[in-house]
Amino acid sequence: MFSWQYGAMEINQEQWNSVCMDRRRYAAGYTGNSFNSDAADSEYQRDRARIIHSASFRRLQSKTQIFSIGDSDFYRTRLTHSLEVAQIGSGICEQLRQRYLDNAEYSAWIPSLSLIEAVCLGHDLGHPPFGHGGEVALNTVMHAHGGFEGNGQTMRIIGRLGEYSPEHGLDLTRRTMLGLLKYPVLHREVAHYELEAAGTSSNIDYARPPKCLHDDEAEILDWVLEPFTAEDRSRFRTVKAVTGRHSKALFKGFDTSIMELADDIAYGVHDLEDALALELITERQWKSLVMAQVEAMPDSPLCREADFYHNKLFSGSDRDRKHAISKLVHYLVSNIRISEQPEFAAPLLRLQAEMQHEARQLLDILKKFVLEEVIRRPQVQALEFKGQQMVVRLFATLRENPQRLLPSAYLNQLHASPQPQRVICDYLASMTDVYATRLYHRLFSPDIGSVFDRL
């Protein structure tokens, strides 16, 4: 039986499991003794169920992944992306479980199927309408009021806004919340804006948010990290200063490292699949921007089986394309190992999932290719720009006319809140692309809108 530190006390594996299963409503006086080892996963099953049945999760079906909602009913949304991240995350855990059968400590901390699925399914709950463009738009109006960032909003939903608890949101277990905590730092600790660039209202790139939690979520962060020693907490919240730019968080938890690898694979490979299906990528681009780099990676499957991947990806057949994409995902997942950050005492901070060097190189090439040739192309950027302008204008209008335009529930919160901007931000962040577009047209298009129209 292993033992680790819990604050100033030393506790064993079973006691650590109980700490991991704490929920915020039990924070005072709850010891977790009602759970036994056979029931441990049931709490993570409950977390997964709460995420799946939450309004925030359902709204992901109408939020942008890369391509605008309405371009087609085939391409990925935030919801289908989250489902794929969960499937990849569970595959990573199963691969690690098999790889480390003889390592008792590693095996003890590899997350269960229910736990990793809860973390992966919940990782995008806080994304606003219009993808990362909407995120920048909301931070434009919130950077002086504690900031806005997608993962920060995820933690706000699970810790405050979700519907399963009056005060504690979805009220998930501590370990699930730790897994969803991608950046254990607050906005005020890492933000650095070039505000002199804020001269024109149409260009809001200056307001790209740091990777962080909102300042309002300091209490949630403290609760999630409470079990760790003071030394581990302090080190985990270390930031790296970057000259002239936002500082960066340096560390993440073990479960988070698995989720982020699954997210990267889904982004680099499955979003590539969408771009191929939409014929946004040509064979010439593929050869010059991907294969030219892969030639220097002899053990990469794209190098070893170049003709197979080229023929399958560009055959025009969904079946052939899926065959190649599935093989690529399998290669990336099978090249993930567990490494250690020896400066931490707690296993949930010390252990990390890490992709082997050449596989990581390949994934980074694919991610950059999707970013440069798909996301940054003018047609996609035009849609993102339009969404940003809608969000900024909606925020200003709702802030100036709350009595007339805010739903009653949000209006009551606004009157009671010391942060009225945050209430309006929560309202806008919760909107789907479709809802935000309809509200915009109702308010600003003269020939659209009726008292009988439902948003």
Specify whether 165 is located in the same domain as 266.
no
Specify whether 308 is located in the same domain as 231.
no
Which residue(s) pair with 64 in the sheet? 77
**Is 405 among the domain residues?**
yes
Specify whether 137 is located in the same domain as 243.
yes
| Mean pLDDT of the region 293-316 | 92
**Is 402 among the domain residues?**
yes
pLDDT of residue 449: 62
**Is 222 among the domain residues?**
yes
pLDDT of residue 79: 92
Angstrom CA distances, 444 to 214, 392, 395, 417, 428, stand at: 31, 13, 13, 28, 16
**Is 293 among the domain residues?**
yes
pLDDT of residue 224: 96
Grade residue 383 by pLDDT with cuts at 50, 70 and 90.
Answer: confident
| pLDDT tens-digit map of 244-286 | 999 999 999 999 999 999 999 998 898 888 888 888 889 999 9
Specify whether 296 is located in the same domain as 212.
no
| pLDDT tens-digit map of 344-377 | 999 999 999 999 999 999 999 999 998 888 888 8
Specify whether 331 is located in the same domain as 287.
yes
**Is 2 among the domain residues?**
no
**Is 87 among the domain residues?**
no
pLDDT of residue 4: 58
Specify whether 246 is located in the same domain as 201.
yes
H or E stretch covering 353 = strand 351-355
**Is 390 among the domain residues?**
yes
Q: Structurally, how many domains does the chain consist of?
A: 2
The pTM for the full model equals: 0.91
Specify whether 290 is located in the same domain as 349.
yes
Specify whether 247 is located in the same domain as 387.
yes
pLDDT of residue 373: 85
**Is 100 among the domain residues?**
no
- Residue range of the domain that includes 316: 256-378
Confidence check: pLDDT of 190 > 90: yes
Specify whether 298 is located in the same domain as 333.
yes
Specify whether 385 is located in the same domain as 355.
no
For residues 253-281, one letter each, b for 16 or more C-beta atoms within 10 angstroms of the residue's C-beta and e for the rest, the string is bbbbbbbbbbbbbbbbbbbbbbbbbeebb
Specify whether 243 is located in the same domain as 333.
no
Confidence check: pLDDT of 196 > 90: no
Specify whether 300 is located in the same domain as 234.
no
pLDDT of residue 275: 84
